[in-house]
Amino acid sequence: MERKTLGLSFLLLLIVLVAEEMVVTKTEAQGTGRTCEALSGQFSGGCVGTTGNQQCDNICRRLEGLLSGT
């Protein structure tokens, strides 16, 4: 029973870590229907839906060629 619990705990931890890495904040680009997924090495923050997120806008426009990242 103890090994089973340890195995399930490890599996749960692994799933949480993988899910955390896979989370990519997608935001609708204005009028295009495309999304900003360019969280590259140059971008370390979260691309959230605030209108004043200039860094996210710059990443979307320059690296992804989209209209907006907010």
Q: pLDDT digit string (tens) for 6-38?
A: 999 999 999 887 777 655 444 333 444 445 554
Please give the mean pLDDT across all residues of the chain: 62
- pLDDT classification of 54: cutoffs 50, 70, 90: low
Let me know if residue 17 belongs to a domain. no
Q: Is residue 64 included in any domain, yes or no? A: yes
- Kindly state whether residue 58 falls inside one of the protein's structural domains: yes
For residues 60 and 25, the answer to whether their CB atoms sit within 8 Å is: no
- Give me the domain span that covers residue 63: 24-70
Residue 15 CA to residue 66 CA, distance in Å, equals 32
Higher pLDDT, 48 or 21: 21
Report the C-alpha gap between 10 and 8 in whole angstroms: 5
How far is C-alpha 17 from the geometric centre of its chain's CA atoms? Answer: 13
Distance of CA 69 to CAs 21, 30, 60, Å?
20, 9, 5
Residue 57 included in any domain? yes
User: Quick check: is 51 in a domain?
Assistant: yes
Comparing 9 with 62, which gets the higher pLDDT?
A: 9
Q: Does residue 68 fall inside a structural domain?
A: yes
Look at the chain and report how many structural domains it folds into: 1
Name the residue with higher pLDDT: 14 or 53: 14
Residue 39 within a domain: yes
| 16 occurs within a structural domain | no
Length, in residues, of the chain = 70
